[in-house]
Amino acid sequence: MNLDLKTSIDRLKATDLRQAPQRLLGDARARAQAVRHDLHTRRESSRVALWTLSADTLEKAEDALEKAPAPLAPVTGRLRKAVHEGLNQVTKLPVEGYDDLNVKAVTDLLPGLDRVNLERIARYEAAHKDRVTVLRAVDKERERRLAAPQPTA
């Protein structure tokens, strides 16, 4: 083998060996970032599931109490009030004066909300104003948060 070629190959191997720890460290960082993202996504999904279960349960309880027979009114009246207060607390919007906000103002605030508050906005929007642009923006924000993290340099 030619001496220059052998020297070039040896230098390449040495360069690869010197860069190997940096590559391994970069790979480990990327894997750690992916794991952190996955854990965060799962935690947020659990919070949303718990919030949804609470809101749905309280809504069903409120409906059931509305249909209770009249003779049960002394008991159901107190329960109805407690369930209604609980539902108001669970579904309270994260923004004061929400009904006065235009579509742009609502969509601008979505990235700063956690997932539970995104769900509050979506549920309220669907039940009251039903602005398609806002509901699409909520869906887009959900998708953005669920997307895999981009590797950092």
- Residues 28-44 pLDDT 10s: 898 899 899 999 999 99
46-93 residue pLDDT tens: 999 999 999 999 999 999 999 999 888 888 989 999 999 999 999 999
Phi, psi of 97 (to 5 degrees): 70, 30
128-143 residue pLDDT tens: 999 999 999 999 999 9
Is residue 132 situated within a structural domain? yes
Is residue 33 situated within a structural domain? no
> Within a 10 A sphere around the Cβ of 48, how many other Cβ atoms?
16
Is residue 150 situated within a structural domain? yes
- Rounded to the nearest angstrom, the gap between the alpha carbon of residue 39 and the centroid of all alpha carbons in its chain is 12
| Domains identified in the chain, total number | 1
pLDDT at 82: 95
Beta strands in the chain (DSSP E): none
pLDDT at 14: 66
The span from the first CA to the last CA of the chain, in angstroms, equals: 39
Is residue 37 situated within a structural domain? no
Measured between alpha carbons, how far is 150 from 44 in angstroms, rounded to an integer?
19
Q: Which two tokens stand for residue 15?
A: 């360069």
Closest C-alpha to 48, from 127, 150, 138: 138
Q: Give residue 114's domain range.
A: 94-153
Is residue 69 situated within a structural domain? no
Is residue 62 situated within a structural domain? no
Q: How far is CA 129 from CA 6, 21, 133, 134, 135, in A?
A: 74, 56, 11, 10, 10
Measured between alpha carbons, how far is 124 from 24 in angstroms, rounded to an integer?
48
Is residue 133 situated within a structural domain? yes
Question: Whole-model pTM above 0.85?
Answer: no
Is residue 143 situated within a structural domain? yes
